[in-house]
Amino acid sequence: DQQVKQNSPSLSVQEGRISILNCDYTNSMFDYFLWYKKYPAEGPTFLISISSIKDKNEDGRFTVFLNKSAKHLSLHIVPSQPGDSAVYFCAASSFGGAQKLVFGQGTRLTINP
């Protein structure tokens, strides 16, 4: 059972426009959510996170939105740049549970010039 789902395997966006990556989760015990970015032949790197007590967290061009009632979060990148082309993983964990971070399948974002 896939507890964290990224239903879009790929996304193509024009440079300068907004990129929106989506993530859904099924486990209501999750209370901390993260986005990781991965370039080819490299390991994932942490991008931004949000706890369940917030509905928005912003860091420069990156904003994560959390809708707890819908069990949905999204990552907005504005404006999108060519260097943003990568695979983005959504991940979730529970402070009250075991030390496990559950990842989604990933979305490959391509920024076109």
Partner 1 sequence: NAGVTQTPKFQVLKTGQSMTLQCAQDMNHNSMYWYRQDPGMGLRLIYYSASEGTTDKGEVPNGYNVSRLNKREFSLRLESAAPSQTSVYFCASSRQGFFSGGKLFFGSGTQLSVL
> Is 74 or 105 the residue whose CB approaches partner 1 more closely?
105
Q: How far is the CB of 72 from partner 1 (least distance, A)?
A: 17
Interaction of residue 44 with partner 1, rule CB under 8 A: yes
Q: How far is the CB of 19 from partner 1 (least distance, A)?
A: 19
Interaction of residue 52 with partner 1, rule CB under 8 A: no
Tokens of 71: 């069990």
Interaction of residue 53 with partner 1, rule CB under 8 A: no
Distance CA 111, CA 113 (A): 7
Interaction of residue 41 with partner 1, rule CB under 8 A: yes
- For residue 90, how many other CB atoms are within 10 A of its CB? 26
Among 20, 105, 108, 110, binds partner 1 (CB under 8 A): 105
Sign of CA dihedral 65, 61, 43, 109: positive
Q: Which stretch binds partner 1 (CB under 8 A): 55-63, 68-76, 78-86, 100-108?
A: 100-108
Q: Are the C-beta atoms of residues 22 and 106 closer than 8 Å to each other? A: no
Distance CA 80, CA 111 (A): 7
Among 34, 73, 77, 109, binds partner 1 (CB under 8 A): 34
Partners of 103 in the β-ladder: 91
